[in-house]
Amino acid sequence: MVFNEKIVNPTELRHWEGKIELYWVYTSGSAGDEFFKALKKGKFIAAKCKECGKVYFPPRIYCEYDFSETEYVNISGEGTVRAFTVARLDKDEKPLEKPEIYAIIDLDGTDGCIVHLLNAKPEDVYVGMRVKPVLKAKNKREGRITDILYYKPS
């Protein structure tokens, strides 16, 4: 076959570093828009299935299990830590200047959860810890998930 001889001298190897810039808009959608509009006002909503009563967070317009419609319900945005990790590497696997704590937070009054940052000392965080969201200043909110800066112990 054609591989009787392979390139053994690495200095003869050729490649080029390519990059291509791609841009999108990411549509929040009907349920997302409803949530982010509420978030700008400092409020949280979830979505309750009209069929089975399961309460979804993140909110969405349909129930995954029944494939039926949902209605929006108000929630506090507070919750309980189900799991957490102390992330020490950035996206290039280099050490982060300051480790980030990520948590799965089960939100009160819902069957759902949010994955977000926790602002606490790693040694103080525990499963079952009560936490509440800290939002950006009202005039800085953009209607994005990052309008929640982080969660903190409540």
Partner 1 sequence: MRVAVVGVGYSGFNANTPDLHWKEIMFEAAVRAYEDAGINPRRDVDSFITCAEDIWEGFAIFDEFVPDQLGAVLKPTCTICGDFLYGLATAYMHITSGLAEVAVVEAHSKASDILTFGEVIKFAMDPIWLRQIGNAHPYYFAALEMAQYINECCITEEQIASVVVKNKNNARLNPSAPYGGKVGIEDVLNSPMVFDPMRKIEIAPRADGAVVFVLANEEIAKKLTDSPVWLKGVGWWSETSNFDTMSFNAMYAAKAAKMAYKMAGITNAAKEVDFAEVDDRFAFKEIQHIEALGLSKRFETATLMVEGYFDRNGELPINVSGGNLGVGNLLEATGGQKALEVVLQLRGEAGKRQLSKAEVGVAQAWRYIPTASGAVAVFGV
Residues near partner 1 (CB under 8 A): 1, 3, 6-8, 10, 13, 15, 17-18, 24, 26, 28-29, 32, 56-58, 60, 64, 82-93, 96, 100, 102-104, 111-117, 122, 127, 144-146
| Long-range CB pairs of 1-9, under 8 A, 24+ apart, other chains included | none
**Whose Cβ is closer to partner 1: residue 86's or residue 134's?**
86
Query: Phi-psi bin for 100: left (phi > 0), alpha (psi -120 to 50), beta?
Result: beta
The two structure tokens encoding residue 130: 């009560």
Task: Determine the Cα–Cα distance for residues 14 and 125; give it in Å rounded to an integer.
Answer: 49
Cβ closer to partner 1: 24 or 140? 24
Nearest-approach distance from CB 117 to partner 1, in angstroms:
5
Least CB distance from residue 154 to partner 1, whole Å?
20
- Which residues pair with residue 106 across a beta bridge? 80, 113
Q: Locate 102 and state its tokens.
A: 């990520």
Evaluate whether 141 touches 147 at the Cβ level (below 8 Å).
Answer: yes
Considering beta carbons, is residue 64 or 139 the nearer one to partner 1? 64
Least Å distance, CB 96 to partner 1, is: 6
In whole angstroms, how far apart are CA 128 and each of 35, 83, 121? 25, 8, 16
* 78 versus 111: smaller Cβ distance to partner 1: 111
Min dist CB 50 to partner 1, Å, is 17
Rounded least distance, CB 89 to partner 1, Å: 5
Nearer to partner 1 among residue 42 and residue 99 (C-beta):
99
